[in-house]
Structure formats: structure tokens, C-alpha cells
Amino acid sequence: MSEAFIRFVRELYGEPRAGIPLHAPVMGTREKARVGEAIDSSFVSSVGAFVTEFERQVAAFVGSRYAVATVNGTAGLHAALVVAGVQAGDMVLTQSLTFIATCNAIHYCGADPVFIDVDEDTLGLSPEALASWLEEHAEQREDGAYEPASGRRIRACVPMHTLGHPVRIEKIAEICAAWGIELVEDAAEALGSTRGGRHCGTFGRLGVFSFNGNKIITTGGGGMIVTDDEDLARRAKHLTTTAKKPHPWAFEHDEIGFNYRLPNLNAAFGVAQMERLPELMASKREVAAAYARWCKAQGMAFVHEPAGTRSNYWLNALRLADEAERDAFLAATNAAGVMTRPLWTPMHRLPMYAQARRGPLPVTERLAATVVNIPSSARMAGG
């Protein structure tokens, strides 16, 4: 199986010998030109026309009223949680099957994650598991949800759209609304993904995207908070700009803020990448379709976009029989120069989050043991 897969991937990417990465950025002359314009403007840090333009483009693309650019997705998620009201001692419901940034951002607020199981098809937070945990462990008061045993506020819920596949976010939004829990979407991997025609990251009051070097578009590092709430957007921008009060020359700050704004150089790169996004999405869906056809012919389980969604297929994935088969596949492909990787080690297995509260996690454990990410770069040249 591994040898046939390696041959197929090398044919798919037209690369007979050299290493094939998991996900490489597409960039070229237009990125160089935009960055050159930023250099010529002399605005290279967190103030400049490209920051504003990048925010405008992302907001328009996802259908949100406001966007606030940040230095990376983790910073964006941290700031969004603060803006959503998450405080020290709060509990935040999320998934264990995620990149560690999700939980770290919660921890930066002094809050604690509570791990809820995921769905087999979406790979993301299960609405049924969420509702079940709340019914068993929470009570509703006038100002929101609490855990009676500890008296702690259950302040927010952070589902993550795993590998770009949309979770059943409308159901999660309904549950959160019923319990008075803030919904903050970790859409780091989901730029271009929609559920029912609505873009991921726009179902909650706040959503966050990432533009790390391996994402569908990149600014090298970078993130974006999106919201339809003008007050939340204003506060997010203020907090991420060190909470500096506007003034022609004085440096006055009215609270503890964060130096989280995206530099103009990175934003210039992002503006050029946004010009490529439709082509990138089309190419990545073609790659996914090729994998799906091959897997069907081989009797292998390909991870398809969930029903009712359109995924950006950020990272394609296979489901293997068990952990032993997964590890053998990983060893063989990587030894042959075709990069593959498992999903993240579930957060509840990591020492810093091993003591976190959690519900039953059987699907999380199964997916972590059997899912493998495979090369997913777009097949298009820079220029």
C-alpha cells in the first residue's frame, strides 16, 4: 500500500525523486512586488496601507463586517478570547484533537480548557458531546453557565475546523446561545471553507484565521480576527495595539494591551496572496479529488468534506486501520521523501493539559490513532 501511494503522489506532483513536502506555499513575483511597495512606502511595521487593505480583503472574502490583523493566529485567538470576556478562573469548552495553540490561547487568559469529544466525519467538536457535557456538569444562571461543583463560569466555547473541514457549527452556535456561552471559532485552517454557504469563522461573535507559512495563503506569520460587532472590533484593534490611546504624539495607554498587530510588510505579502486565493482553492480541490479517486480504487478511506459543506481541503487525510498500520505508513512514506504526518497528539495527553477536565473522548482517541495527513500543496506555479 505504501509503495503504491508513494508512486501516486510522485506522479500527482510530477516529482520523481526530490522530497515532497506536506504543504508548500505558492509565491512569486506578485508577492515580491507588493513587499517592494511596502518597503518603498517606508511603512514596514504595524502601521501602513497594506494592513488596512489586507483586513478589508479578508473581511469581504469571508463576509464579515470587520477584520483585525494580528501577528499570528495564536495571538489573534488570545485577543479574541479576551475581547469575548474570558477571565482568569473561567472554563472554556474546546476539543482535545487540535493544534496546541487553541489551548495555549485559553491558558494565556488564565482560564482552563475542558475537552469535549469530536465527530467522526467533521473531525471537529461534536454538538451532541457538547450538549451532553453541559447537561451533566453545568447549570444555567441569569448571567450564563456555571459548573455547580466549583462555582466557576463556563465562559466560552472554542471549536476548531480541523484540516479545513467545517464542524457542525450552526448546532454548536445554538447550544452556546441557549446556555449563554460565548462562541469563538478557531478557523485557523479554514479560510475558504463554508457550511451551508456561510464562511467558517462567522457563526460566532468572533472568529480567527491563521496565515502561517503552511496555510492555504500565508503572510509568513499572521492572523486575523473577524466579527460583525463594531465594538468588539474596535476593542480588538485597541488591545492588539498595546492599548495605546490615539494621539498625534503622546504615548498614553488605558489598560494592559498586547503588541499583536501585523506588520505592513507581512500584510503586503497577504494582499498578493489574496489575489491568488481563488486559484489556490480550485487547485487544492483538484488535488483532493485526485486523492479521492485513487483511494476509492485502492479501497482506502479518504477523509471527505462533511455533508453540507465546502472544504478548502487545507490538508488531505487518510484513515488507516489502526495505530500500527498508521505508524508503518508514516515510516515508509517519510523514508521515501514523501512527507506525511499523524494528527496532533491529543491535548489531554500532553503534560501541561493532562489534568484538564474532560468528557469521554473515544472518537478523539480513534482519530488520533488512525488519521494521516498527506501532501496537500496546490499544483500551480508562482508568478
Q: Specify the CATH number for the domain of residue 307.
A: 3.90.1150.10
Mean pLDDT (whole number) for 291-310: 97
Q: Which of 273, 295, 316 is the last residue of a domain?
A: 273
- In this predicted model, what pLDDT tens digit does every residue of 48-60 receive, in sequence order? 999 999 999 999 9
**C-beta of residue 261 within 8 angstroms of C-beta of residue 244:** no
- Judgement on whether residues 287 and 207 belong to the same structural domain of the protein: no
- Judgement on whether residues 165 and 304 belong to the same structural domain of the protein: no
**Predicted confidence (pLDDT) at residue 46 exceeds the cutoff of 90:** no
Share of the chain above pLDDT 70, in %: 100
* Confidence band of 348 (pLDDT split at 50, 70, 90): very high
**C-beta of residue 351 within 8 angstroms of C-beta of residue 305:** no
Mean pLDDT (whole number) for 130-155: 97
The pLDDT of residue 263 is 97
What's the DSSP call for residue 162? G
Q: Which of 230, 247, 273 is the last residue of a domain?
A: 273
- Judgement on whether residues 88 and 187 belong to the same structural domain of the protein: yes
Mean pLDDT (whole number) for 172-178: 98
Q: Is residue 352 part of a domain?
A: no
Mean pLDDT (whole number) for 26-44: 95
Mean pLDDT (whole number) for 30-58: 95
Q: Which of 256, 273, 290 is the last residue of a domain?
A: 273
- Judgement on whether residues 256 and 296 belong to the same structural domain of the protein: no
**C-beta of residue 373 within 8 angstroms of C-beta of residue 316:** yes
- Judgement on whether residues 18 and 71 belong to the same structural domain of the protein: no
- Judgement on whether residues 155 and 268 belong to the same structural domain of the protein: yes
Q: Specify the CATH number for the domain of residue 140.
A: 3.40.640.10
Tally the domains of the chain.
2
Instruction: Tell whether the torsion through CA atoms of 142, 147, 148 and 150 is positive or negative.
Output: negative
- Judgement on whether residues 22 and 43 belong to the same structural domain of the protein: no
Which CA distances in Å does 111 have to 78, 240, 326?
11, 19, 35
**Predicted confidence (pLDDT) at residue 206 exceeds the cutoff of 90:** yes
Q: Is residue 355 part of a domain?
A: no
- Judgement on whether residues 229 and 318 belong to the same structural domain of the protein: no
- In this predicted model, what pLDDT tens digit does every residue of 71-113 receive, in sequence order? 999 999 999 999 999 999 999 999 999 999 999 999 999 999 9
- Judgement on whether residues 86 and 232 belong to the same structural domain of the protein: yes
Exposure string of 57-87, with b = 16+ CB inside 10 Å and e = fewer, is bbbebbebebbbbbbbbbbbbbbbbbbbebe
Predicted TM-score (pTM) of this structure: 0.97
- Give the domain extent around 111: 29-273
The pLDDT of residue 80 is 98
The pLDDT of residue 91 is 98
Mean pLDDT (whole number) for 207-227: 97
The pLDDT of residue 127 is 98
The pLDDT of residue 72 is 98
- Judgement on whether residues 149 and 160 belong to the same structural domain of the protein: yes
Cβ-Cβ contacts under 8 Å for 178 (sequence gap 6 or more):
none
For the chain, the average pLDDT equals 97
- Judgement on whether residues 49 and 13 belong to the same structural domain of the protein: no
The pLDDT of residue 382 is 85
- Judgement on whether residues 46 and 67 belong to the same structural domain of the protein: yes
The pLDDT of residue 128 is 98
